[in-house]
Amino acid sequence: MYEQEILQRLTGKCDIFFENSLISKELIIQKYADFFTRLISLEKHSSSVALHTGSVCFSVMSFVIAALACIVMDQTNPDRIIDSLIIDDMVIFKNERFRWQGIERMNGVLSMKLKQDGKGKNGPTIGWYPLEENKVLIKPYHGSSEVTDGRGLRKKTSDRADFISYITDKSKSEIPAITSLSVIIVSNRKLFDRLQKSIRIEYDGKSINILDIIPASYYTDVDESYQYGSNPSKSEPVLKVAGKMSVARDLILNKHGNKSIGLIVIGSEIISKSPSELEDLLVRKSLRFVHLSMDIDSEIADKYIGDEISSVFACTKEFLLKYSKSIVETNPITLELYKQVENIVNNEVTEEIVKGGCACNIYQEIKNSLFVIKRSDWDEDKNRNFIISAYSLLKLLVTAVFSMETLEFAIENKELHHGVISPSSKINELWEASEESGSLELHCVNSQI
């Protein structure tokens, strides 16, 4: 419950922007945030599906809530980080690399002892820094550099501790510099590229970008990653994004580094490509949550609404009529969202019988004749050409939502592309071919009924 309360403050105490457009004030987005927050705050394993309008807003909220969840659920504190260090471990302190030399009393004050290597004729430099007020600034360094100075480190200040303190009501001294939990996200790389550089959170009159709160990387393989944003200590990414389910599975099973607490899969195309791997991950108890996100008109949605899915968020017509009555903040992103909402709300399917087409019994007779022709010993080229033309015409007859007369008229009046052949022309070609079919002529004729 404590975790859920903190996560819910995200939309209550903060404003979330995407591409400089405020999106978190819209009621439908707040309902989604509440749904996702409740899901990942459950103590036991849970799985869910979100069937949304197709707006990028839902992906933005998923990323932000997942990132904050890793921070809120993490039991790491500055003291644990200090306790894990051994002599000569490389650490980052005030944007420079040092060698950890332990804790000593200096002038009666418990202090961190840090060393930087000598330069030129000068010997190493030793510094003592009061532990209580500086331990929160210590980050274990996981990079490859052996140089103990600030070279290669970006001199960028961050309000990370200030933001986390604001959300969690903890003092800055209680907030560790690193996070030991991660969420795995399977997403199109183009989408993640767009998201990571455009998500911004405003709080208490201040502003912070998502990558100033947590590090993120895109993985092409479990050992091959591309870092996003600044991560001077080379600490483990909190958001691990992969384009393939197989890579995501390897990241989850990897026992090194951060513990993976959740999996988010965005897009029906990615979901449909690896059904067996996804089914395995849906029931993996080591994950606190698994969340699938796709458009509500996805053809595979029904497959993932069943016993293995504990919760469903669906932007049905009834839901949208209740929770998306008016736009709160007008901007390009919310206007796109509400246009999608209107399309769903106003979408109606009416059945209209179109004259023409092909009756079921005639359709079956044609299929039977074509089967006989295909299995015959008629000249291979003539057989293939006849079958292709006949099936093409048959498909047109059974799928067209307009009459053949309408199509003939449009072709005759050159309203369509010049390469479109009229049904009557195709039938004439088939008649001519059937006259040369010998004993198969009756079947060829039947295929043109």
* Between 224 and 205, residue with greater pLDDT: 205
For the cut 70, the answer to whether the pLDDT of residue 16 exceeds it is yes
Q: Which residues contact 27 (CB under 8 A, 6 or more apart)?
A: 323, 324, 325, 328
Task: Delimit the domains of the chain by residue range.
Answer: 2-73+182-345, 78-160, 360-446
What would the mean pLDDT of 123-130 be, rounded to a whole number?
Answer: 86
Q: What is the pLDDT of residues 25-69, one digit of tens each?
A: 999 999 999 999 998 888 788 899 999 999 999 999 999 999 999
Determine the pLDDT at residue 102. 86
CATH class of residue range 2-73+182-345? alpha beta
The lowest-confidence range among 190-204, 236-250, 414-428 is 414-428
